[in-house]
Amino acid sequence: MLINDSLQPTDLSSKLDRFWALSGQKIQLIDDEYDVSKGSPVFTVQGKYTTRGWTEWTQGFQFGSAILQFDATNETNFLDAGRQKTLSVMAPHISHIGVHDHGFNNVSTYGNLLRLMREGRIEFNEWEKNLYELALKISGAVQASRWTPIKSGPDGAAGFISSFNGPHSLFVDTIRSCRALVLSHSLGHVFQGEGDVKINLLDRALQHIKATADYSVFYGEGRDSYDIWGRTAHESVFNVRDGNFRCPNSQQGYSGFTTWTRGLAWAMCGFPEQLEWLATRNDAELDAFGGRTFIEAYMLKAATATCDFYIDHTPTDGIPYWDTGAPNLHRLGDYLNRPADPYNDFEPVDSSAAAIGAQGLLRLGKYLIAKGNSESGKRYYQAGLTVLNTLFDEPYLSTDPAHQGLLLHSIYHQPNGWDYVPAGSKIANGESSMWGDYHAREVALYLQRIIRNEPYYTFFNRVAEPRIA
């Protein structure tokens, strides 16, 4: 990346105004045109949202987008729609035992609504608040129930939340579902197992985060021949009989030995936001899990490593290709030293990875600056702004009034060939995804609140109150 050190958040103000105007139009277009009998909208084909996938993992992004739109613009029709759809449609996601996506579906809906109520942005209602809290409490517990114990290392990683692939499978994506566990814990929920055994949700969240840091992220410490500082594996495979790690793998990337950039972005975003949440907790609460210094160290190492890898392996304008080891990247020549080309003949870019990763860069930068590490912090923060300066403009911002997507050039599943390839093109381009659109809105709201000096946006704002364990 070529980081623009002179960019200020306010430099993007006009782009944000345009972004939110287009965003509202897209939400309304989907509401008017999408056939809900087909299932949740996942990604676009020729500008129209369609469904395809393994689970209903994008529904929370759809309704969460309307809630974020209200948060950014105060347009109450979006709040009404997001709230009504959350209450009428999202209940099955709370008790869904078959997925690792609770932090996507339920924190994006129930979590955002509870946050807005706690912030005083929507009218307080005791029963409504209780409903949101109960949904988040149960969601976190159900997510934590997808538990695979593993062989404990010298510093204690001993389990993880398994992906929908099965108990052997740790997905790097799932770090963002740790939001569900820590919110449930913050709300005082008691998760119980067989014989009424009480299972600490913070313990499970931290074990999963530690396992992700240990096995999904590489640090150039000699694990294998492809061990590079900050690269990630989409999936880590374990022997469920003895708990031993077996190998890296990938479901949506090129291979277990290359870096699928959306997986990288989930880690870039997930570790810094957990560091922010950790700052709300009391030291005494963390002592049972190794203490604050120990926990912060492995989270910060993973956050900085993944963000460094993104900066070093992304074209100058901050938009990555879908996998840093994609087999035809070499045919693009010196592609890292020029802006990404979504219309090239060889490999797609993935704007959704940029939207997710930019939030991680901004959060990590702010975190480090607050800790007194201004030089490193500014590097990440300015990298985040650089990505957004590109992302919130053409050719990535969708301005066609007939196109239902907001963020163009998102990739869903390149190995399976699910993404639409336009006539005359050799690669997929020009389409949107529900997660890409949602995370573009999320990072836009994050930046807008900073520009306007409004309360800092986190998933736990005014929800996770400190307490002594």
Q: Which residue has the higher pLDDT, 287 or 153?
A: 287
With contact defined as beta carbons under 8 Å apart, do 178 and 208 qualify? yes
Q: Which residues contact 106 (CB under 8 A, 6 or more apart)?
A: 60, 90, 93, 94, 135, 136, 139, 180
pLDDT of the residue at 157 = 61
pLDDT over 90 at 178, yes or no = yes
Averaged pLDDT for residues 163-182: 96
Residues of the chain above pLDDT 90, percent:
94
Count of beta carbons in the 10 Å neighbourhood of residue 197: 8
Give the helix/strand (H/E) hosting 36: none
Residues 342 and 437: their CA atoms lie apart, in Å, by 17
Residue 468 pLDDT: 38
Q: Within 10 Å of residue 285's Cβ, how many Cβ atoms?
A: 16
Q: What is the CATH number of domain 9-103+111-124+212-230+261-451?
A: 1.50.10.10
Confidence check: pLDDT of 467 > 90: no
pTM over 0.85: yes
* Sign of the CA dihedral with 221 first, then 227, 231, and 234 last: negative
Of all residues in the chain, what percent carry a pLDDT higher than 70?
97
The token duo for 219 is: 């640090």
Question: How many angstroms separate the CA atoms of 192 and 386, rounded?
Answer: 46
Cis bond upstream, residue 41 (ω within 30): no
Tokens representing 355 are 């939207």
| Amino acid found at 91 | A
Section 70-87 average pLDDT? 98
Confidence at 369, pLDDT banded by 50, 70, 90: very high
Residue 7's nearest CA partner among 259, 368, 385, 312 is 385
Helices (H) and strands (E) in the chain, counts: 15, 9
Q: Tell me the C-alpha distance between 134 and 252, whole Å.
A: 34
Band the pLDDT of 154: cuts 50, 70, 90.
Answer: low
pLDDT at site 464: 63
Mean pLDDT for 390-395 is: 98
Quickly list DSSP for 199-252.
Answer: E-HHHHHHHHHHHIIIIIB--SSSSSTT--TT-B-SEEEE-TTT--EEEEE-SS
Identify the CA nearest to 41 among candidates 306, 434, 314, 469.
434
Give mean pLDDT, residues 144-163: 87
Cβ atoms within 10 A of the Cβ of 153, count?
Answer: 13
In the chain, the amino acid numbered 289 is F
199 by Cβ neighbours in 10 Å (0-12 / 13-18 / 19+) ranks as middle
Q: Tens digit of pLDDT for each residue in 85-134?
A: 999 999 999 999 999 999 999 999 999 999 999 999 999 999 999 999 99
- Residues 262, 263, 266, 267, CA torsion sign: negative
pLDDT band at 352, cuts 50/70/90?
Answer: very high
What is the 8-class DSSP label of residue 148?
Answer: E
Mean pLDDT for 288-303 is 97
What is the model's pLDDT at position 39?
Answer: 87
| List of residues 6+ apart from 391 with CB closer than 8 A | 318, 319, 351, 354, 355, 358, 397, 407, 440
User: For the chain, which residues make up each domain, given as ranges?
Assistant: 9-103+111-124+212-230+261-451
> What is the identity of the amino acid at 133?
E
Nearest-5° angle of CA 138, CA 140, CA 146? 105
Say which residue the tokens 């045919």 belong to.
331
Local structure of 191: helix, strand or coil: strand
Angle ∠(44,253,173) on CA atoms, nearest 5: 80
